[in-house]
Amino acid sequence: MNKIHIPVLLKESIDSLNIQKDEFYIDCTLGDGGHSVEILKNLSKDGLLLSLDHDQYAIDFAKEYYPKEVTQGNWMIKKANFKDIKTCAKEVGRNPKGILIDLGLSSRQLEDSHNRGFSYQEADEPLDMRMDQDLGVSAKDLLNVLPEKELGNLFHTYGEEKYAYRIAKNIKKNISDINTVGDLTRLIYKVVPAVNSNKNPSRRVFQALRIVVNDELNNLSKVLDESFEILQKEGRISIISFHSLEDRIVKNYFFEKQGSGEGELLFKSHIAPTDDEKEQNPRSASAKLRTLIKK
């Protein structure tokens, strides 16, 4: 893959942070570096950006693609899960004025996943789905070890899949034949009734497996708590979510902080991509940006 990932809601998310040039900012999801580099452009030599990612391939790409920015002295890149943001900030010795979290997969992770099987379109890849290869349990492991009912619960809860239990039953019945992305997607095509939609029927199952393998929702809840704790007064947390489970957690947390008087919403609800952005980058269609100001 030669294209750089198009950052979603780039202008809106950068504007939402109200960047002050000499302050410290954290981008919790480096990805292809698009949001990070834009933050960096708004900082002086006394400002500082820390970018986190638990995907080593993302870090390697950013360091190679942005050599000038990496060497200018005020951009730190660290391999870490954003749930450990408090520890990472403590190592820097500064409290951030702003924190950005983009919860989406990058185009690079989908189209050049280094044999990790994030995309249901990469038929020959193994069912891995670990962002961090140091994690112990892969998607295939879950399919193997979880009983049929628990597997159905997983697809229903984390994928909001209508045919969760039917899919789980057929997976367990054919488990010895399921080793690759293509093996799983072909089974799901057989199980799920045909509908008039251009969306792949596997997408919800893949979402559920990726969420559980990487413990994404628990990590999100933890990073919300730790981010708010370390944020400076009048600092801002901006989060871009892509599916209802993530957005519900973010929305409820932000509204709770506003209700307690500890925070204030920058937007009454959320910011969505414009029609132009959705046309240029179809993957942005479901994105929602929410921002909380610490009081």
The per-residue pLDDT for 1 is 43
Note the pLDDT tens digit of each residue in 138-184: 999 999 999 999 999 999 999 999 999 999 999 999 999 999 999 99
Average pLDDT over residues 194-198: 62
Tokens 């193997």: give the residue.
Answer: 144
CA angle (249, 250, 253) in 5-degree steps? 85
Give the residue with greater pLDDT, 130 vs 122.
Answer: 130
The per-residue pLDDT for 110 is 57
pLDDT at 135 over 50: yes
Q: Give the domain 136-213 fold.
A: DNA polymerase; domain 1 (1.10.150)
Asked whether this chain's domains 10-109+216-294 and 136-213 adopt the same fold, the reply is no
Query: CB within 8 A of 115, min separation 6: which ones?
Result: 125, 126, 128
Phi/psi region, residue 90 (left: phi>0; alpha: psi -120 to 50; beta: rest), is alpha
- Say what the pTM is: 0.91
The per-residue pLDDT for 3 is 54
The per-residue pLDDT for 69 is 94
Closest among 166, 137, 136 to 151, alpha carbons compared: 166
Average pLDDT over residues 229-236: 98
The per-residue pLDDT for 4 is 64
- Cα–Cα distance between 212 and 218 in angstroms, integer? 9
Question: Domain ranges in the chain?
Answer: 10-109+216-294, 136-213
CATH architecture of 10-109+216-294: 3-Layer(aba) Sandwich (3.40)
Half-sphere exposure of 210 (CA within 13 A, CB side): 22
